[in-house]
Amino acid sequence: MAEHARPPERLLDLLVTPACRDFLQAWLRWRGGAVAPRRDQLALDDIARHLRWLSVLEIRSAEEQRFRLVGTAINATRGRELTGVNLKDLSRPEDWPRRSSINLALAGWPCGLYFRVLFEYSLGPPVPSEYVCLPVFAADDASPRQLFTMREPIEDITLRLPQLDPVYNQVGDDNRFVDLGSGVPDAAMLPLPLPPLTL
């Protein structure tokens, strides 16, 4: 008997942090029947208690992908203000080509991305942070698209700061594209070709 393919996993079923779960559910409301919401459809009050873990990356080109907003909790863990910084400057040279290509695909396809990053802190064992990255269209089609990313550690790291090695953004683990309704790019773009998630 032939094996039946397993149904795709749902993103919501994987999420464990309140920030990422609430962000996903808010983003789904904002987009309505569209593949992604426009900036003027966002109601950030819906996720007000999590904004300290939100970042907004504007995708201008393969070389310019600049943070337009970085939440206060992220800046605190990194020990610096990251708003206005080009993501390329936070990426190791060997990581940038893949990272840039993935971000272009997320904004252009469009699709989402789920991953985790294991961070080390000055006290205690490493703690993973959960990430959900979802596209947001500009109010007009001529303006760059943005990637809204919510992250949150799965444990309270307040007393463990600062984060060690805060200079570069690490490559995450378990990277998986999220199908928003228009398919996903080739999973070979990812560090490991893991199957996509659905909403």
User: Could you report the per-residue pLDDT of 1-23, keeping only the tens digit for each?
Assistant: 445 567 779 999 999 999 999 99
pLDDT digits (tens, 9 = 90+) for 114-149: 999 999 888 899 999 999 999 999 988 889 999 999
Q: Identify the pLDDT of residue 177.
A: 98
Q: Which residues contact 181 (CB under 8 A, 6 or more apart)?
A: 35, 199
Q: Identify the pLDDT of residue 4.
A: 59
Burial of 146 (0-12, 13-18, 19+ CB in 10 A): buried
Do residues 92 and 168 touch, judged by C-beta distance below 8 A? Answer: yes
Per-residue pLDDT, averaged over 47-64, amounts to 98
Do residues 125 and 142 touch, judged by C-beta distance below 8 A? Answer: no
The candidate with the shortest Cα–Cα distance to 176, out of 8, 28, 6, is 8
Per-residue pLDDT, averaged over 16-31, amounts to 98
Residue 155 DSSP code: S
Cα separation, 116 vs 175, whole angstroms: 7
Letter string b/e over residues 18-35, b meaning 16 or more CB atoms within 10 A of that residue's CB: ebbbbbbebbeebbeeee
Q: Which of 17-26, 83-92, 155-164 has the lowest mean pLDDT?
A: 155-164
Structural domain boundaries in the chain: 19-198
Q: Identify the pLDDT of residue 175.
A: 96
Other Cβ atoms within 10 Å of 168 Cβ, number: 12
H-only helix segments in the chain: 11-14, 18-31, 72-78, 96-108
Q: What tokens does 29 get?
A: 């409301």
CATH of domain 19-198: 3.30.450.20
